[in-house]
Amino acid sequence: MYHPVGEKILAQEAHLIKTNDYDPSNLKRIVLEEKVDAIVLRGPARITREVIEEADSVKAISGAGRGLDNIDVEAATEKGIAVLNCPSVNAVSVAEHAFLLLLAAAKKMLLCDNAVRQGNYDLRSNLRPNEITGKVLGLIGTGAIGSCLAAMAIGGFKMKVRAYDPFVDPSEAEAQGIELYPDLESLLPVCDFISLHVPLTPETENLISEKEFKLMKPTAIIVNTARGGVIDEVALTEALRENRIAGAGLDVFCDEPDLQCDLPLFNTENVVFSPHIGGITEEATYRMAEAVATNMLAFLNGHYPESICNAEEIGIKV
């Protein structure tokens, strides 16, 4: 759990077994020996098919945020195990962080910070950061986080928000001041800034790759606070190093947490990095832990929360 409030809530009605050893063999041992009723996890822990196949006593598995790429949902569904998430508790925090990365890249803050630390005050004579006010922000995904970011962009910086999201009601998007585009091919060329807000699925893996980077403006900046695999990092590196786009802000990576920091991406000047921390603010972690614990206890007591992602597949009415 990201905050102790979650453990306090669960401990009122459940016996807790905690581990920081995420090796599948250890997780299998725990579910077999302890006959656990439910599993609550946070990254980088993963509940794989290998673990789920041994989880005969498990009734539910809950992640800590929206994303479920660290849970084999298909395997859990086959076994009749409910999979829960918390889709909006960290929306404000992640949206704020996306804006932080966007601003840091546009204002070239890392170059500025390094210059001051090295006594290079003359940088101000040569560096030309960019404004974001009035520019076009493109959203890929307009769920809780994307919508929150849109409101910040429109209300705070008078940005024009365009988006691609095949699952959103056009009238709902219009009510938020978001203009929907039918596909990435038409959206990407009009954007000054692009922010990703989609889960990592087989359909979204490498959603932004060489083809998509070629469609972007050479002045475009892309921000990813979703999942690392949504962007092809090799294609991103090439686009940055060849100045086919102006910059990037990344909070998520394909191989996290074991980053290969000797790769060219991590030696590219026009990128701002952070360690998948967008949703881990003091406020969001409290809400997250509270929601996870409350929803899990509700489920185990026979009251099914709306956050069951595979409810229909396992025959549960929420």
Is there a common fold for 4-89+282-300 and 91-273?
yes
Could you state, in order of their start, the residue ranges of all structural domains in the chain?
4-89+282-300, 91-273
Q: Is 124 helix (H, G, I), strand (E, B) or coil?
A: helix
Query: Among residues of the chain, what percentage have pLDDT more than 90?
Result: 91
Closest of 46, 76, 19, 66 to residue 257, by C-alpha:
46
Q: 50, 78, 179, 256: which one is catalytic? A: 256
Look up the pTM and report it.
Answer: 0.89
Indicate the pLDDT class of residue 112, thresholds 50, 70 and 90: very high
Q: Is 296 helix (H, G, I), strand (E, B) or coil?
A: helix
Q: Which two tokens stand for residue 113?
A: 């910070």
- Per-residue model confidence (pLDDT) at position 1: 61
Indicate the pLDDT class of residue 271, thresholds 50, 70 and 90: very high
- Per-residue model confidence (pLDDT) at position 227: 94
Residue type, 72: D
- Per-residue model confidence (pLDDT) at position 42: 82
Q: Is 95 helix (H, G, I), strand (E, B) or coil?
A: helix
Tell me the average pLDDT of the chain. Answer: 95
- Per-residue model confidence (pLDDT) at position 221: 98
What number does CATH give the domain 4-89+282-300?
A: 3.40.50.720
Report how far residue 45's alpha carbon sits from residue 20's, in angstroms, rounded to the nearest whole number: 8
| Residue 276 annotated in active site | yes
pLDDT 10s digits, 114-125: 999 999 999 999
Judge contact between 299 and 305, C-beta under 8 A.
yes
What number does CATH give the domain 91-273?
A: 3.40.50.720
With 80 as the cut, is the pLDDT of residue 66 above it? Answer: no
Q: 97, 227, 233, 287: which one is catalytic? A: 227
| Residue 303 annotated in active site | no
| Residue 49 annotated in active site | no
pLDDT 10s digits, 201-220: 999 999 999 999 999 999 99
